[in-house]
């Protein structure tokens, strides 16, 4: 291939590489639009629904995060659910994950009898156990 053809191909490829990100960006470059009739306008009598609120159970969260095999975790209430999200330290075995997740699922069931219970065991950024009561 001649040097002239290589330069032309290089120029075309370079132009494509430089322009593709501009056309394919996820950023919305459209000008701001006026709100439509279906925008988030609330009536004066509107009250927040229970589904939209998240309340953390500080006591159980503190107890959970003090467990030796737990890297991080949170116990919270949302709508009709009580949830324990438990991230385990790397190297924790499945038996220990199941035991601790079950312990907190049962604790939540006793404390919040009128709510559905979910407990998630997370290891290496993947849910490895999901308990629903």
Is 25 contained in some domain? no
pLDDT of the residue at 84 = 94
Which among 109, 116, 106 has a CA at the least distance from the CA of 50? Answer: 116
Helix, strand, or coil (residue 75):
strand
Q: How many CA atoms lie less than 13 Å away from 12 in the CB half-sphere?
A: 6
- Report d(CA 3, CA 7) in Å as an integer: 6
CATH number at residue 115: 3.30.70
pLDDT of the residue at 5 = 73
Per-residue pLDDT tens digits of the chain, which is 133 residues long: 677 777 777 677 666 665 655 555 555 544 444 444 444 444 444 444 445 688 999 999 999 999 999 999 999 998 899 999 999 999 999 999 999 999 999 999 999 999 999 999 999 989 999 999 9
Is 39 contained in some domain? no
pLDDT of the residue at 114 = 92
- CA 13 → CA 3, 6, 25, distances in Å? 15, 10, 19
Is 92 contained in some domain? yes
| Residues contacting 54, CB < 8 A, separation 6+ | 76, 77, 78
What's this model's pTM, rounded to 2 decimal places?
Answer: 0.60
What is the Cα 116 distance to its own chain's centre?
A: 19
pLDDT of the residue at 82 = 93
pLDDT of the residue at 120 = 93
Is 70 contained in some domain? yes
Is 2 contained in some domain? no
- Report d(CA 132, CA 49) in Å as an integer: 23
């Amino acid at each position: 291939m001649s040097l002239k053809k290589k330069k032309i191909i290089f120029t075309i490829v370079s132009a494509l590489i430089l322009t593709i990100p501009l056309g394919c960006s996820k950023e919305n470059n459209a000008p701001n639009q006026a709100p439509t009739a279906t925008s988030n306008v609330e009536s004066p009598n509107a009250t927040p629904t229970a589904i939209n609120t998240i309340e953390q159970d500080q006591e159980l969260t503190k107890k959970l995060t003090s467990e030796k095999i737990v890297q991080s975790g949170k116990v919270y209430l949302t709508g009709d659910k009580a949830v324990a999200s438990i991230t385990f330290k790397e190297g924790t075995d499945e038996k220990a994950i199941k035991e601790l997740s079950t312990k907190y699922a049962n604790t939540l069931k006793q404390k919040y009898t009128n709510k559905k219970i979910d407990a998630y065991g997370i290891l290496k950024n993947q849910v490895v156990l999901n308990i629903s009561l």
